């Protein structure tokens, strides 16, 4: 994985020293909160409902075991013994004291981490497929591309004060596991159908929030060497023409919507034609240096399948269920990628204690070449595990309370912090996720329902990605009460879609029953092997809408069935 060079190290250290002085001036009153706000946001520091919040960048969701242990130490020493993994593959600490944040940043710098560009109107942390470099179906590992974009975009003088925040995601496979069409720019590594050359397909204008939109194709094929020049052209069009008079209409999706994708594409192509791509492209030696950091680890030659794993599965039903749900096919024979669920039944989605972080770091050293990924589903991934060692890994996860066999199932819920923490939230998200998780917590029930993604946001800003949830839940304030809108049919994959509203808002207490009724419609109408999302696409919204609006509580109907 990528490691900082001397320039990176010096740059981050200088920023820590600069911010230490700014914090000191805020504490002694030399800076007002209004004066301090843009400075702290440049360093990932938010002021939330109850305390400051520090958001730490985890580029393309890749962590080393050393870095994860450092996060555990920070959580223990400066927070309340846990951290929260987010839908942008970052980590947030919700209770740091302002006076301690420079020391935290120093500890992060010790392991090549920082909080730069995790907030503000700039290009944010570039995200990627959490199975990158392991997935059997990818054309190419997308992380070297994401790292190149990180280096290009960090403190880019032309794009440091954009009309609004800007998010880029990269995937290396046709199967979109990075939600690229829900981003301002989505990049897919592709192979040219005629020449076989590896390049990029680019989408633009995706995004969630109060005006959700699916990204539109802006370039079907772009040679790899032209990437930075094309990104510069696209960003330049947005930076010059994006609205700055209304922050709710300032994202690039609004510009694309207002002038149309054809006109937007024409302006980008005109800008691109005026540039010299070779002059903007990264030095080939630098590209080679970056790619070398992402070379595959020292895999050993193994049979495609493990007899030992088969025997372990036959002996232990719980382990067998976990392997079925929480492992992913690996490109290297005899290996698997593993999802470490941060969604215990009734728990807080995305939270991990410092002890759990240390356990995962130790297990990564023992079984996964010391590497960990953070998924936008708010789980952790061990990308390279020998099948022979899965039982030993699972045993370690069980002891740490991290072996929930629910990856991709109904209790693998994405939820933002909501009104329990966030100053922008209008309703709670976490208690809703916990109530649904408890209702559907039975392992047998989850397997019966199969793949189903529920996503919950506590306000219209949609940090919980509710618009692209198979079932989406949006918490709002209505007449002084928390009210929840439910949407259906959203999808964050290559079949990207925005969910449709099912009816009027309901109370928090009514949400689990409403989900029961939607699940009941699916179970009653699904074909053999058909997932919830596939059934919704085939049936349309109407039967589910009728179920949602039915007065009889589905819990009672389920019990009576």
pLDDT, tens digit (0-9, with 9 covering 90-100), for 148-196 = 999 999 989 999 899 999 999 999 999 999 999 999 999 999 999 999 9
Q: Is the pLDDT of residue 337 over 60?
A: yes
pLDDT tens digits, 183-224:
999 999 999 999 999 999 999 999 999 999 999 999 999 999
Q: What is the predicted pLDDT for the residue at 9?
A: 87
Q: Mean pLDDT throughout 434-460?
A: 97
Average pLDDT, the chain: 95
Q: Kind of pairing, strands 52-56 and 45-47?
A: antiparallel
Phi, psi of 477 (to 5 degrees): -100, 130
Nearest alpha carbon to residue 162 among 82, 85, 242, 80 = 242
Cβ neighbours of 301 (radius 10 Å) = 7
> How would you list the strands of the sheet with 380-386, edge to edge?
62-64, 371-374, 380-386, 335-340, 327-329
pLDDT at 52: 96
Q: What is the DSSP string of 148-178?
A: HHHHHHTT-TTSSS-SS-B-EEEESBSS-SS
- Residue 255 CA to residue 242 CA, distance in Å, equals 6
Residue 163's φ and ψ, nearest 5 degrees, are: -60, -35
Looking at 28-137, list the stretches that DSSP marks H as alpha helix, in order from N- to C-terminal side: 33-41, 65-78, 101-110
Q: What's the number of CA atoms in the CB half-sphere (13 Å) around residue 223?
A: 7
Over residues 291-310, the pLDDT tens digits come to 999 999 999 999 999 999 99
- Cβ pair 553, 513 in contact under 8 A: yes
| Amino acid 98: pLDDT | 97
Backbone torsions φ then ψ of 394, nearest 5 degrees: -60, -40
| pLDDT tens column, 489-532 | 999 999 999 999 999 999 999 999 999 999 999 999 999 999 99
The SS3 of residue 362 is: helix
Residue 76, pLDDT score = 98
Which residues are CB-contacts of 194 (< 8 A; sequence separation ≥ 6)? none
At 551 the pLDDT is 65
Those residues whose C-beta lies under 8 Å from the C-beta of residue 398, and which sit 6 or more positions away, are none
228: nearest Cα among 147, 122, 163, 133: 147
Helix (H) or strand (E) holding 64: strand 62-64
Catalogue all structural domains in the chain, each as residue range(s) with its CATH number: 6-110 (3.90.480.20), 134-291 (3.30.413.10), 307-400 (3.90.480.20), 414-550 (3.30.413.10)
Q: What percent of the chain has pLDDT over 90?
A: 95
Q: What is residue 560's predicted lDDT score, i.e. its pLDDT?
A: 36
Percent residues over pLDDT 70 in the chain: 98
561: pLDDT strictly greater than 50? no
pLDDT number for residue 557: 45
Model confidence band, residue 8 (pLDDT cutoffs 50, 70, 90): confident
pLDDT tens-digit series, residues 346-377: 999 999 999 999 999 999 999 999 999 999 99
Q: What is the pLDDT of residues 308-333, one digit of tens each?
A: 999 999 999 999 999 999 999 999 99
Q: What is the pLDDT of residues 409-418, one digit of tens each?
A: 999 999 999 9
Residues in the chain: 561
Q: What is the mean pLDDT of residues 443-448?
A: 96
């Amino acid at each position: 994985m990528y490691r900082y060079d001397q320039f990176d190290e010096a740059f981050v250290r200088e920023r820590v020293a600069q911010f230490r002085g700014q914090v000191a001036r805020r504490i002694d009153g030399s800076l007002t909160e209004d004066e301090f706000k843009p400075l702290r946001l440049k360093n990932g520091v938010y002021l939330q409902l109850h305390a400051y919040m520090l958001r730490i960048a985890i580029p393309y969701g890749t962590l080393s075991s050393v870095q994860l242990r450092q996060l555990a130490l920070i959580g223990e020493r400066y927070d309340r013994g846990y951290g929260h993994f987010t839908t942008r593959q970052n980590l947030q600490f919700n209770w740091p004291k302002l006076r301690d944040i420079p020391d935290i940043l120093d500890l992060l710098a010790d392991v090549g981490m920082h909080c730069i560009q995790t907030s503000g109107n700039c290009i944010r942390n570039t995200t990627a497929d959490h199975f990158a470099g392991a997935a059997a179906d990818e054309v190419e590992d997308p992380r070297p591309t994401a790292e190149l974009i990180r280096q290009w975009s960090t403190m880019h003088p032309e794009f440091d004060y954009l009309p609004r925040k800007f998010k880029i995601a990269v995937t290396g496979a046709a199967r979109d596991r990075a939600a690229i069409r829900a981003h301002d720019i989505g990049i897919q590594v592709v192979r040219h159908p005629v020449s076989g050359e590896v390049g990029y397909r680019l989408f633009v204008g995706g995004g969630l929030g109060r005006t959700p939109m699916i990204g539109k194709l802006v370039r079907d094929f772009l040679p790899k060497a032209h990437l930075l020049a094309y990104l510069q052209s696209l960003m330049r069009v947005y930076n010059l023409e994006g609205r700055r008079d209304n922050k709710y209409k300032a994202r690039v999706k609004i510009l694309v919507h207002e002038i149309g994708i054809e006109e937007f594409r024409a302006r980008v192509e005109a800008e691109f034609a005026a540039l010299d791509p070779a002059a903007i492209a990264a030095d080939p030696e630098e590209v080679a240096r970056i790619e070398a950091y992402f070379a595959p680890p020292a895999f050993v030659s193994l049979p495609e399948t493990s007899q030992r794993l088969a025997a372990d599965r036959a002996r232990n039903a719980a382990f067998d269920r976990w392997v079925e749900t929480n492992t992913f096919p690996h490109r290297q024979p005899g290996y698997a990628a593993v999802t470490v669920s941060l969604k215990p039944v009734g728990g807080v989605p995305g939270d991990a204690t410092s002890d759990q972080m240390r356990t995962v770091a130790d297990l990564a050293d023992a079984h996964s070449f010391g590497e960990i990924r953070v998924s936008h589903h708010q789980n952790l991934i061990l990308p390279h595990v020998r099948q022979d060692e899965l039982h030993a890994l699972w045993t370690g996860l069980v002891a740490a309370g991290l072996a929930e066999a629910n990856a991709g199932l109904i209790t693998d819920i994405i939820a933002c912090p909501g009104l329990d923490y966030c100053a922008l939230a209008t309703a709670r998200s976490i208690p809703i996720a916990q109530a649904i998780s408890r209702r559907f917590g039975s392992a047998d029930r989850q397997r019966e329902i199969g793949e189903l993604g529920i996503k919950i946001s506590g306000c219209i800003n949609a940090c919980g990605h509710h618009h692209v949830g198979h079932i989406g839940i949006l918490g709002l304030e209505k007449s002084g009460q928390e009210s929840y809108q439910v949407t259906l049919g959203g999808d964050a994959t290559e079949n990207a879609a925005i969910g449709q509203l099912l009816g009027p808002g309901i109370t928090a207490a009514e949400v689990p029953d409403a989900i029961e009724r939607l699940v009941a419609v699916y179970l009653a109408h699904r074909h053999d092997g058909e997932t919830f999302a596939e059934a919704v696409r085939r049936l349309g919204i109407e039967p589910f809408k009728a179920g949602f609006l039915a007065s009889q509580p589905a819990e009672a109907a389920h019990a009576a069935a």
